[in-house]
Structure 1
């Protein structure tokens, strides 16, 4: 079965978040289930520079597709320099604002997907299109109005908060028929809604955890699109993300000072010392809580900033790596000044350092207000870095709370809390500190997490079954 995946980023070529990890890892996992995936990406400089054996195919709009391989992926690259040959972020100009032509850039991506899926030049026809997030979400709309044999599509929501809404003035340039600009199409409260279009026109909708699939059908979680999700309820499926267990493997991770496994947890001590050194933390007995995150309201980082005094009083420490809202960056930098040797902060992102944090910190804190799936807690489980998470979305689906019964049964893998408030987070952090002080219970939680099957294999089987059902 031939599937054309369409995404705005894919690891290891370009990454701003979890979408890239999924788009980069899922194709290899699907291959094990008889699904051959080619991924269509925008022609960012990093993608074009990595492409090998490229064969060009001209498109009717004057752009071209380059077929080749890079980063272990079979690729089609939309070669449109005027749209994508830009430095820095795929979505943001150097000033931190959205590129003003994002509507045109990602409409071109969706339109190219629909053309390629039907076969173009040396590109053979595909059986199905798998569109990821709003940047690819016009692909199902273009397919719905395309001439010739119908190509089915699946739309995956990685985060409902990002919808790709643009003024109605962009619609005439999209090349869609006028009847598409209705409530039963791309129109959304007078705007052009890219994600809305994908959710309406796709044959099936998936999202990245069963709990999040239920949450987006509610007014609280649906971000204005809950009515559409409820209307299509029988066509919505939640599949928890996996991770690349070869990239994320503490037994083989060369970024770590000391590699280890579930049977050699004592080796984590060297990595713990490395984190103390990297973040200027004193060598104390208390647990190191870590954050590797965007510093945003969604991620609950304001709650953690408020909970820091309570964590310090419990004897915990904090190592934080992240970037985001200026006010939150400032709050954590101020905390590092207030608690020298107890709080260490690195503003920015560093892939290697993130691995070392998971390998050396005792717990990873993910207090998100909503979290479609979350990968951070999965990396924590894999590395024996115990997750402390809010009971929402994929966090609820992937972490087993260390209540008394679960600890006694040896199945607990982390600490959950609800509701998502400062008080509940403080209680969860205190509970984690108490568990840490019981080495037998703590190591049981670590080992149970490390034994969890976090690979893509089982998840990919669900996608493969869905694709075959949709394609008939």
Structure 2
């Protein structure tokens, strides 16, 4: 089967969040199942810099009045999965992030940039393909490729089937209707049974309406987005299409995230020699300037610092926890008010709390290995990967029962427990659950069993990739 995996980011070329991890790992897992899978990715500066042996396979015009672009072919680093890159310097060669400029605002021409990505994806799945290869399945990811199913369905010729994968319903790609013309979309599709959403052209709505199948990144999230709280106004459409909606839990890259071989760790360990994990804790305490105390429960947070992630709730609990002997290691950046509050906490508890307000790949691995308990109290979480990293590294997570957290973490009070789960987005309930985790940590034998349960769980991509392949075969 020929599968085109369309994405706006893919590790290790470019990554802003979980989509980058998924895009780096799932195509490789599908390839391991014998499928002809290829990525399609915008030609951002980091992508062009990191890809070796690039060659031009086509020059063509995507939209009327626009200059020609080049389609480049290369291989993904590490996995050797083929990747096509849109080389359109006018739109993608910019110094800043893939979606926003340096001051934090969205690029004003994002509609054209990702409309181009979507249109080329549709071309590669139809008779309009500028290269001999033509996809059977076009797998789209989030709003940035949401117009691809629309272009496919509006093409009267034969075309590939499409899957719309939702990683986060909150990001919808809504633009002024004036973009219809430049994006070569007919006015007739601008209604409730098309791309229109509250008077805007919505890339995500287009994908949800026109795709042959809709998939989310966990079974629980597939149910949650069909209700008002998490449907973000599109729950009606999703409910109507209920029979086409499914949820497949993400996996993790088990080569990148493996405590036995992790290149960022000085001391390696696995479930057979878990005692060596203590060396990682000591090294982390020393690196972050925390008191070197082997018995202090070290709480880890690696996250965007946002309301969605529930970190405002966590901040209410932290002074009591730190006064009670716990330590804290935070890595991430985000909302300025949350950053300010975490910085203030670190100043108040200089030997008990460390806050690093940036992203650091190596430090994220060392926190996962060196912490005793990982905190992830998200208000909603479509899938989440960090809780699975925590389990794999013997660092049981504290999570709220939502989305992929509910599907991947078993509470310690249940058989085969791998972490600590609470139900309501409530600071008091979060505090009680962290205290429960710390109490369990002090029961060495019981805590060791929870660690082992998590480390022995299958959280790789093999099973998830098979589920995707089964989905493709139903189309």
Q: Same fold (TM over 0.5)?
A: yes
Residue number in structure 1 paired with 2:71: 65
Query: How far did residue 329 of structure 1 move?
Result: 0.4
Partners of 2:437 and 2:130 in 1: CA distance: 59
Q: Deviations over 1:108-142 (max 9, x none)?
A: 10011111222534341110100000001111011
Query: How far did residue 16 of structure 1 move?
Result: 0.4
> Equivalent of 2:263, from 254, 264, 286?
254
Map residues 266-345 of structure 1 onto 2, 5 A cutoff: 266-284=275-293, 285-345=295-355
Query: How far did residue 160 of structure 1 move?
Result: 0.5
Give the total of aligned pairs. Answer: 465
Q: Aligned pair in 2 of structure 1 residues 242, 29: CA closer, same or farther (>3 Å)?
A: same
Partners of 1:33 and 1:201 in 2: CA distance: 28
What secondary structure, in the 3-state scheme, does the structure 1 residue paired with 2:425 have? Answer: coil
2:1 is equivalent to residue 13 of structure 1:
no
Kindly indicate whether the alpha-carbon contact (under 8 Å) linking 1:131 and 1:154 is maintained by their aligned counterparts in 2.
Answer: yes
2:34 is equivalent to residue 28 of structure 1:
no
Residue number in structure 1 paired with 2:235: 226
Map residues 59-458 of structure 1 onto 2, 5 A cutoff: 59-61=60-62, 62-71=68-77, 72=79, 73-118=81-126, 120-284=129-293, 285-403=295-413, 406=414, 409=415, 411-458=416-463
> Equivalent of 2:471, from 456, 459, 466?
466
Kindly indicate whether the alpha-carbon contact (under 8 Å) linking 1:370 and 1:392 is maintained by their aligned counterparts in 2.
Answer: yes
Query: How far did residue 310 of structure 1 move?
Result: 2.5
5+ residue gaps in structure 1?
A: none
Q: Extract structure 1 runs of 4+ deviating beyond 4 A.
A: none
What secondary structure, in the 3-state scheme, does the structure 2 residue paired with 1:179 have? Answer: helix
Partners of 1:50 and 1:433 in 2: CA distance: 43
What secondary structure, in the 3-state scheme, does the structure 2 residue paired with 1:173 have? Answer: coil
Kindly indicate whether the alpha-carbon contact (under 8 Å) linking 2:70 and 2:88 is maintained by their aligned counterparts in 1.
Answer: yes
Q: Deviations over 1:154-200 (max 9, x none)?
A: 00000011111111222221101111111100000000111010000
Partners of 2:143 and 2:177 in 1: CA distance: 17
What secondary structure, in the 3-state scheme, does the structure 1 residue paired with 2:333 have? Answer: strand
Kindly indicate whether the alpha-carbon contact (under 8 Å) linking 1:27 and 1:36 is maintained by their aligned counterparts in 2.
Answer: no
Query: How far did residue 4 of structure 1 move?
Result: 0.6
- Output the aligned Cα RMSD: 1.1
What secondary structure, in the 3-state scheme, does the structure 1 residue paired with 2:180 have? Answer: helix
5+ residue gaps in structure 2?
A: 63-67
Partners of 2:322 and 2:76 in 1: CA distance: 46
- Taking structure 2 as the reference length, what is the TM-score of the superposition? 0.96
Partners of 1:66 and 1:238 in 2: CA distance: 33
What secondary structure, in the 3-state scheme, does the structure 1 residue paired with 2:474 have? Answer: helix
Partners of 1:466 and 1:141 in 2: CA distance: 20
Residue number in structure 2 paired with 1:47: 47
Q: Deviations over 1:194-236 (max 9, x none)?
A: 1010000000000000000010000001111111110100000
Partners of 2:313 and 2:287 in 1: CA distance: 25
Query: How far did residue 89 of structure 1 move?
Result: 0.9
- Taking structure 1 as the reference length, what is the TM-score of the superposition? 0.97
What secondary structure, in the 3-state scheme, does the structure 2 residue paired with 1:97 have? Answer: coil
Query: How far did residue 55 of structure 1 move?
Result: 2.7
Partners of 2:147 and 2:130 in 1: CA distance: 22
Partners of 2:70 and 2:164 in 1: CA distance: 24
Partners of 1:147 and 1:424 in 2: CA distance: 55
